[in-house]
Amino acid sequence: MKPLLLAMLSSSLAVGGYSAGLRWNATPSMPVGIWRVVPLQGPPARHQAVAVCLPEAAARLGRERGYLDSGDCTGQAETLIKPVAAIPGDQVSVSDDGISINGNPVADSKPLPRDDIGRPLRSTEKGVHVVGTNEVWIISSRDPRSYDSRYFGGVGLAGIRGAAMPVFVNK
């Protein structure tokens, strides 16, 4: 009886926490732990952590390859927590050596040619991209293997679910 009660309690806490905006991040591209998603107060800012749904093609590839868990975003992919690296009007330079934003290199942003099990990765087109009025670029410099804008470019503002605030994370 106790295992059933524990399972029911865990499920109730998970559902209640999700309803309260709590999300678990298990990827090293952001600190692992519990985050709370809150409404954005204005447009997203550089370096702000956001909860975001990826563009459909990126979400589909991420699900097929196991980079993303299931969730309620397009392509049945999970919502990710990532930092905003570039905002509308910024110039993003993509090269084999990594990404620069407005001439400032982003640490550990070099696109990898292959994933951890050897499958080829296709980076965002090389060159200079001006961030559009309805998009941002999300890039994590915490983990060089992060699945982010270095592989799929900008993310529409409509895909941002809110600001992500750390609650209990391992920095």
Q: How far is the CA of 40 from the CAs of 104, 152, 155, in angstroms?
A: 26, 23, 16
Residue 8: the pLDDT is 42
> Block means of pLDDT (10 residues each) for the chain, length 171 residues?
47 53 91 96 96 96 94 92 98 97 97 96 96 97 95 97 95 78
The CB-based long-range contact list for 59-67 (8 Å cut-off, 24+ gap) reads 62/147, 65/115, 65/119, 67/115, 67/147
Residue 142: the pLDDT is 93
Q: How far is the CA of 150 from the CAs of 96, 123, 126, in angstroms?
A: 10, 6, 10
Residue 64: the pLDDT is 95
Residue 4: the pLDDT is 53
Residue 12: the pLDDT is 41
Residue 50: the pLDDT is 98
Cβ neighbours, 10 Å, residue 51: 25
Q: CB of 150 within 8 A of CB of 94?
A: yes
Residue 19: the pLDDT is 62
Residue 16: the pLDDT is 52
Residue 13: the pLDDT is 43
